[in-house]
Amino acid sequence: MMLTLGLTLVRHGETQYNKDKLLQGQGIDTSLSEMGFRQAEAAGQYLQDLHFTKAFVSNLQRAIQTAEIILRSNLHSAGVEMVLDPLLRERGFGVAEGRPKEDLKNMANAAGQACRDFTPPGGETLEQVKTRFRKFLKSMFQRILTDHRPGPSADAFPESALDTSIAGFADDGVENLHVHALVVSHGAFIRVAVRHLVDGLRCSLPQGIKMSQVYSACPNTGICRFVVTLRTDEDVPRPVAFHCIFINRKDHLAGLKD
């Protein structure tokens, strides 16, 4: 049997560290800034008509606050379970945490590496972050299968959605799906996750999207959406198809000013 679900990834709202261009990673657990709360409220308003059946959230404060605001704004998800998952935490930046991003660039330059590929002492490699994301996907799919046993007429992804995926509506790609997970995480983690979905799991992309956008940094409360089809034989969920609907959407931020 098959089960198709929506997966909406949101980066947390701005913190003072984000504003000051300081690295937070995992060791610095900051709250949202005033702008970050406004961004989260804007994201919540944008997503208010969607029906989330589950929410998976990094257990760092900035992600929890963002998810709480999004779910509080939502018109259909009052009883949704919020699962706090350390697998969704930001990439660990080791000795660079709490320091300016410029310091990380200088360390990478000294090592002869690109900044995004460089691992500071005590930090996580990109491969370790990817492994964490893969563990999260496996855990999430199993939780969803436990809650939503598919029947013979389970949701299937309508291929026509690929033609309208960049129409600009908040429910693009998920308007006919009954299972939809909200995932709230962090910038570096989401960048690795999206790259793995596209490069490693052969996720299809919407027409007209540029690879530079696929690999670009997600802004605070930027939204990415994927649709995943699982084969659910013998109670083991196995993903058989990934479709990207949009990446790093920020329409809801247009009216916000410092």
Contact assessment for residue 44 and residue 254, using Cβ atoms and an 8 Å cutoff: no
59 a known binding residue?
no
Contact assessment for residue 92 and residue 86, using Cβ atoms and an 8 Å cutoff: no
21 a known binding residue?
no
13 a known binding residue?
yes
Enumerate the H helices of 47-163 as residue ranges. Answer: 61-73, 101-110, 126-147
The dihedral built from the CA positions of residue 93, 184, 164 and 197, taken in this order, carries a sign that is: positive
φ and ψ at residue 188, rounded to 5 degrees: -65, -35
101 a known binding residue?
yes
- Secondary element (H or E) of residue 36: helix 34-46
215 a known binding residue?
no
65 a known binding residue?
no
176 a known binding residue?
no
**Which segments of the chain are extended strands (E)?**
2-11, 54-57, 82-84, 180-185, 223-231, 238-249
4 a known binding residue?
no
66 a known binding residue?
no
In the set 12, 196, 243, 252, the catalytic residue is: 12
Catalytic annotation present for 12: yes
Rounded-to-5 percentages of helix, strand, coil across the chain: 40, 20, 40
In the set 34, 51, 68, 90, the catalytic residue is: 90
18 a known binding residue?
yes
Catalytic annotation present for 127: no
Pairing state between β 2-11 and 223-231: antiparallel
φ and ψ at residue 171, rounded to 5 degrees: -100, 20
Q: Report the catalytic residues.
A: 12, 90
Residues making up the binding site = 11-18, 62, 101
Residues annotated in the binding site for substrate, as ranges?
A: 11-18, 62, 101
